[in-house]
Chains A and B, each alone.
Chain A
Amino acid sequence: EPEVTQTPSHQVTQMGQEVILRCVPISNHLYFYWYRQILGQKVEFLVSFYNNEISEKSEIFDDQFSVERPDGSNFTLKIRSTKLEDSAMYFCASSERSGSYQPQHFGDGTRLSIL
């Protein structure tokens, strides 16, 4: 069964550095998402992306964050200048179509640790 894959599984970065988290969505999916889960807290929506533009974003997704689909297969989340509070598990997801009944398929996540 096709899966969403994320790399790396664990990323350690110094505070203030830029970090890029990578995701390969399921190949025929058109909608892409990032979520994060700070340790001990709920999974939170960050952003959704369709047709090469952001379709929805949360308050968390400020100017420090950006997303890109650079080559038609990868979907990336960039954090420009990382802060300690960015430490979290970041999940990528994709869905075939829009519509609230469409399931989102999640990757294994990338654990981001900011030192």
Chain B
Amino acid sequence: AQTVTQSQPEMSVQEAETVTLSCTYDTSESDYYLFWYKQPPSRQMILVIRQEAYKQQNATENRFSVNFQKAAKSFSLKISDSQLGDAAMYFCAYRGNAGNMLTFGGGTRLMVKP
């Protein structure tokens, strides 16, 4: 079974600075998909960024980018120019090539200091 681990329960960053949230996963599959979701205090999880395992190029969405290291089974999220609105729980999630089930990590609470 796949597992997803987020080793940082909490992180804080100064506004306008850069922060990296870590995620590792365990799988025997070669083809899969990885996601980062953001859950603000209003509770709805919102997709931030996604990565296909067969793509070597790291995904980027504006200030959000990932560092995908397939051999190391690592999928970290970098937030550049952090804003107060980035404060939220961030969940890393894995999805295999068959089926639609998402496997989540335990989450990282990001605090942004003004």
A52 on the B face (CB < 8 A):
no
Mask, A72-115, CB within 8 Å of B = 1, is: 00000000000000000101000100101111111111000000
| Contact (A3, B100) CB under 8 Å given A43-B91, A103-B35 | no
> B102, A104: Cβ atoms under 8 Å?
yes
- Cβ of B95 under 8 Å from chain A: yes
Residue with the highest number of chain A CB atoms closer than 10 Å, among B97, B99, B101: B101
Residues of chain B lying within 8 A (CB to CB) of residue A48: 99-101
Which of A95, A101, A105 interacts with B52 by CB under 8 Å?
A101
Q: Considering only CB atoms, which chain B residue lies closest to A33 in the complex?
A: B100
Interface membership of A58, Cβ < 8 A: yes
B109 contacts chain A at the CB level, 8 A cutoff: no
**Given A101-B33, A101-B50, CB of A95 within 8 Å of CB of B100:** yes
B45-A91 in contact (CB<8A): yes
Q: When the two chains form the complex, which single residue of B33, B45, B97 contacts A106, counting CB atoms closer than 8 Å?
A: B45
B contacts, CB < 8 Å to A: 32-33, 35, 37, 42-47, 50, 52, 91, 95-107
A selection of 28 A-B contacts at a CB cut-off of 8 Å is A35-B102, A41-B106, A42-B105, A43-B102, A43-B104, A45-B102, A45-B103, A55-B100, A56-B100, A58-B101, A89-B43, A100-B32, A100-B95, A100-B97, A100-B98, A100-B100, A101-B50, A101-B52, A103-B35, A103-B50, A104-B47, A105-B47, A106-B44, A106-B45, A106-B46, A107-B44, A108-B43, A108-B44
